[in-house]
Amino acid sequence: MAGRRARPWGARGWISWPVVRRQRVVSFILKGIGYDRRDMVTVSPDLFKQVMRRWASTVNVVTTRHEGVVHGLTVTAFSSLAAEPPLVFVSVNKRARTHAMIDQAGIYAVNFLAPQQRALSDRFAGRMPEADRFAGVALGQGVTGSPIFADAIAWLDCRVTERVSGGDHTLFFGEVVAAGTRGADLSPLLYFNGRYHGLGSVCED
């Protein structure tokens, strides 16, 4: 077109010059601090898993209720996000049955397990041939209707506020609408290096 500069073609169509300028400024700054996209190496899933085995986490069972049916799965990919308002998130495999249920129901509860609840963790991870994962588990019910384990050391009852896709998982951000703990001195079940652990001693200076 006469008198007009050719525009670059973006992934989703024409992208505007302000966007291109911003991208160039960002690249310029990143190169200035010694970062170049071409320097990035590919991290294999095996290496990633090897590194993540060095990451210790608590073991939790995330439960939900959809159309009267309760379900749950063992989760370590859980974290708090903010205190005001209270927000948390869990990362759930898109192929897990619980994923579809949380997605549709928009609610979940996080039950923090105690060291003596290892078998429960295995059961909710599908490691045992247990038809009913909730069999014999003393249950209460959260404000949202999600099952709460009576013997969990602490629990959070959440409403989903946002869903963020990341690879084969979805992060379900949850606003905490109810919460409880069975005692401040109870310690959690931990998962580290592919095995269950209890808390060790407190690190002194």
CA distance 78 to 113: 13
Tell me if residue 2 falls in helix, strand or coil.
coil
- Is 170 one of the binding residues for ligand FAD (CB under 6 A)? no
Q: Rule CB under 6 A: choose which of 58, 98, 117, 146 binds ligand FAD.
A: 98
Binds ligand FAD by CB under 6 A, chosen from 63, 64, 88, 96: 96
Residue type, 170: T
120 binds ligand FAD (CB under 6 A): no
Q: Identify residues 75-94 at the interface with ligand FAD (CB under 6 A).
A: 75-77, 91-93
Token match 């024409």: residue? 14
Contacts 24+ apart (CB under 8 A), 123-129: 124/61, 124/72, 124/73, 124/74, 125/73, 125/74, 126/73
- Amino acid identity at 181: T
How many residues bind ligand FAD (CB under 6 A)? The answer is 16
Q: Residue 35, SS3? A: coil
111 binds ligand FAD per the rule CB under 6 A = no
With CB under 6 A as the contact rule, the residue among 58, 63, 64, 74 that binds ligand FAD is: 74
Residue (15 or 91) nearer to ligand FAD, CB: 91
Positions in the binding site for ligand FAD (CB under 6 A): 59, 73-77, 91-93, 95-98, 125-126, 191
